[in-house]
Structures are given as C-alpha cells and as structure tokens.
C-alpha cells in the first residue's frame, strides 16, 4: 500500500502532472519549498515553480493529497529585508549635507559645526 502511494505521487518527468512531481522523500537536493527558501533567507526570484511535491495528508478524514511548489535554490535570490533597506538609507538621511561626516541636527538642517560656520 505505502509503496503504491509513493509511486503514484512520483512523476519526475512531469508527464502525468504537467510539472515534475516528487514524493516528499525523493525531492532532489536543489529544490526547496517557499518556506524552506525563506528559512535560508532566499526568495524564488524570477523563476516560476520548477516542480512540486505531493504527499498524503495525515489529517483524519478522507485521504487528501497535498501539494507544494518547489523552486531551484540555484536560481533563488536573497530575500529583500526591511532591515537592509533601513541600514543603507538611514545614515544618508542623518548625515550633514555640508560636511557629509557629522550627524545632522534636524532643527538646523545641517550639523552644529556647519550651522556655526554659516552663522559666522
């Protein structure tokens, strides 16, 4: 029984399902689900689903086949994180536009040194 189930969900050429299909224990090592990519700090990038993994749900009730798309980790891109955007944008906004080294005083629009120079 179990053996037949594994075969039923195995279609590496995609002939039966239209997309290469692997049972959970036979997923090639370079393929990841969205959740696995995210756990590695990656996102699919421009690629569409490369394959799918099918498995029988263990939830009580009538047997249901669950599916998840798989993406090629070699085509994946680093995840865009708000943290990285903030890190590159923040220092620019806080640096004095005159000397480009001192932190800005927001009331003056420049750093205190440059404000003093401008006033002198």
Interacting residues with Zn ion (CB under 5 A): 96, 98-99, 102, 111, 114
Q: How far is the CB of 106 from Zn ion (least distance, A)?
A: 13
Closer residue to Zn ion, CB minimum distance, 78 or 97: 97
* 59, burial (CB in 10 Å: exposed 0-12, middle 13-18, buried 19+): exposed
Q: How far is the CB of 96 from Zn ion (least distance, A)?
A: 3
Say if strands 51-56 and 42-43 run parallel, antiparallel, or are unpaired. Answer: unpaired
Shortest CA distance to 77 belongs to which of 38, 111, 30?
38
Q: In the numeric block, which tokens belong to residue 118?
A: 């401008």
| Farthest-apart Cα atoms in the chain, separation | 89
Closer residue to Zn ion, CB minimum distance, 37 or 114: 114
Closer residue to Zn ion, CB minimum distance, 77 or 90: 90
Q: How far is the CB of 100 from Zn ion (least distance, A)?
A: 7
């Amino acid at each position: 029984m179990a053996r037949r189930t594994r075969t039923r969900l195995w279609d590496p050429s995609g002939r039966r399902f239209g997309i290469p299909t692997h049972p959970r224990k036979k997923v090639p090592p370079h393929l990841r689900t969205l959740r696995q990519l995210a756990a590695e700090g990656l996102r699919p990038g421009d690629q569409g689903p490369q394959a799918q993994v099918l498995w029988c749900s263990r939830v009580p009730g009538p047997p249901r086949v669950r599916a998840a798309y798989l993406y090629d980790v070699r085509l994946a891109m680093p995840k865009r994180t708000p943290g990285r955007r903030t890190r590159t944008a923040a220092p620019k906004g806080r640096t004095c536009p005159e000397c480009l080294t001192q932190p800005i005083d927001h009331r003056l629009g420049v750093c205190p040194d440059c404000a003093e120079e401008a006033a002198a």
